[in-house]
Amino acid sequence: MKKNKHEAELVKEALRIGAIYFEKRGAGRFEQTDSASNKVTAIYRLLVKDGLIQALAKGQDSEPNMRHKLALWMERQLPEDHPLRKG
């Protein structure tokens, strides 16, 4: 699993964009008191369900792996010349 040097920033952006998608999709709404861990899991599962990302292999669905998948998803959404893609 190759890690992008900007993975933390990509995950942060994925949580922001993912929360918007989550709400527009009608899946609910995140509260400020919701933990990042819960947001990662919920957004990851919704993106898998909607076919926007491929599910992790059985037994590999840990939070760090979900964060990595969200970072990859976010990286693909960014324009080619975006600074976070250079990693």
Q: Which domains does the chain have, with CATH numbers?
A: 7-76 (1.20.120.1930)
Q: Give yes or no for a contact between 75 and 17, defined as CB atoms under 8 angstroms apart.
A: no
> How sure is the predictor about 1, in pLDDT bands with cuts at 50, 70 and 90?
low
pLDDT digits (tens, 9 = 90+) for 11-53: 999 999 999 999 998 888 888 898 999 999 999 999 999 999 9
Burial class (CB in 10 A: 0-12, 13-18, 19+), 71: buried
Q: Which of 7, 44, 11 minimizes the C-alpha distance to 27?
A: 44
Query: Which two three-digit tokens encode residue 67?
Result: 């964060």
pTM: 0.86
Quick one: pLDDT at residue 81?
82
Place of tokens 């990595």: 68
